[in-house]
Amino acid sequence: MTEKKQIVLIYSVVAVVCSLIIGMSVWLATLKKTNEELRPYAEDVGKVEVTEIMSLERDLDLVKQDGEAVKISDLKDKVWIATQFFAICPMCAERNGTRLLQVYDQFKDNPNFKVVCFSVDPESDTDEHLMSLETGLGVDGDKWWFVKTDPKKLRDYMRFEMLFGSVTERTDPREIDEKGKWAHDMGIQVYRGDTLLKKWHEGLPPEQLTALVAKALEGLSEEGDE
């Protein structure tokens, strides 16, 4: 075989290999896209089973938006929703004004139901700020608590007792403008007394959260009848 033919053969083999690699890449990309389209948008969609995940072992002293001193143990005979927030968080405003408010409106007349929002920035969230949230949402302060306490105690309790995600301070000015100063867990926890029943994540259908709270309240009533 001449040197020229050897060079031609080598380039031909390289071309074939490159074509195979490109073809495989296109196939994998198509397969990945197909799998992503078939993947559920979120886990547990449609499930409303009430299961006991864990129980709170410690109590915590808190202060409501009206200055009243309260404790986690004050919720021992309630079904309550727990979330993290800070007063000027744009994502919290959207969540509270839509999903949480829908659930609140559904169960606000039930004496065994409450919403509890824990401030991740209690130093900046003044009583006036918190009262303005209550007024803006048009909710009953006895049914919907905006609570705070010592920053370190509160964050440690939310992280290690309630198992919320950690709170971190954003540093990118653009991200701060869009999402606010603090990055925090946007999940919604549902409790019956001191027992965590489920954590509802952003993206799950609002009606699933409503159904979960309804089932939890039914269970609370059944416990009271025993």
Taking the C-alpha atoms of residue 123 and residue 149, their distance in angstroms, rounded to an integer, is 9
- Give the pLDDT score at 34: 37
Task: Provide the residue count of the chain.
Answer: 226
DSSP string, 25-36: HHHHHHHHHHHH
* Nearest 10 degrees: Cα torsion 186, 188, 191, 197: -110
Are 210 and 48 a contacting pair, CB within 8 Å? no
Flag whether pLDDT at 175 surpasses 50.
yes
The pLDDT tens digits of the residues spanning 176-207 come to 777 777 767 778 899 999 999 988 776 677 78
Share of the chain above pLDDT 90, in %: 37
Flag whether pLDDT at 12 surpasses 60.
no
Are 133 and 148 a contacting pair, CB within 8 Å? no
pLDDT band at 226 (very low <50, low <70, confident <90, very high): low
Q: What is the pTM assigned to this prediction?
A: 0.71
What's the number of CA atoms in the CB half-sphere (13 Å) around residue 158? Answer: 30
* Nearest 10 degrees: Cα torsion 198, 212, 214, 207: 140
- Give the pLDDT score at 26: 41
Greater model confidence, 124 or 161: 161
Taking the C-alpha atoms of residue 75 and residue 147, their distance in angstroms, rounded to an integer, is 13
Q: Give the pair of three-digit tokens for residue 186.
A: 């946007």
The pLDDT tens digits of the residues spanning 52-92 come to 688 999 999 999 999 999 999 999 999 999 988 866 666 66
Strands annotated E in 152-206: 168-169, 182-183, 188-192, 195-200
Q: Which of 6-10, 40-44, 106-110, 162-166 has the lowest mean pLDDT?
A: 40-44
Greater model confidence, 148 or 97: 148
- Give the pLDDT score at 22: 46
Are 27 and 19 a contacting pair, CB within 8 Å? no
- Give the pLDDT score at 224: 54
pLDDT band at 18 (very low <50, low <70, confident <90, very high): very low
Average pLDDT, the chain: 76
| Backbone torsions φ then ψ of 89, nearest 5 degrees | -80, 115
DSSP string, 56-83: --S--EEE-TTS-EEEGGGGTTSEEEEE
Are 158 and 147 a contacting pair, CB within 8 Å? no
Closest CA to 139 of 113, 112, 111, 108: 108
Flag whether pLDDT at 42 surpasses 70.
no
Taking the C-alpha atoms of residue 85 and residue 125, their distance in angstroms, rounded to an integer, is 10
Residue 22: other Cβ atoms inside 10 A: 10
- Give the pLDDT score at 125: 85
- Give the pLDDT score at 171: 83
pLDDT band at 94 (very low <50, low <70, confident <90, very high): low
Mean pLDDT across 126-153: 93
Mean pLDDT across 31-38: 37
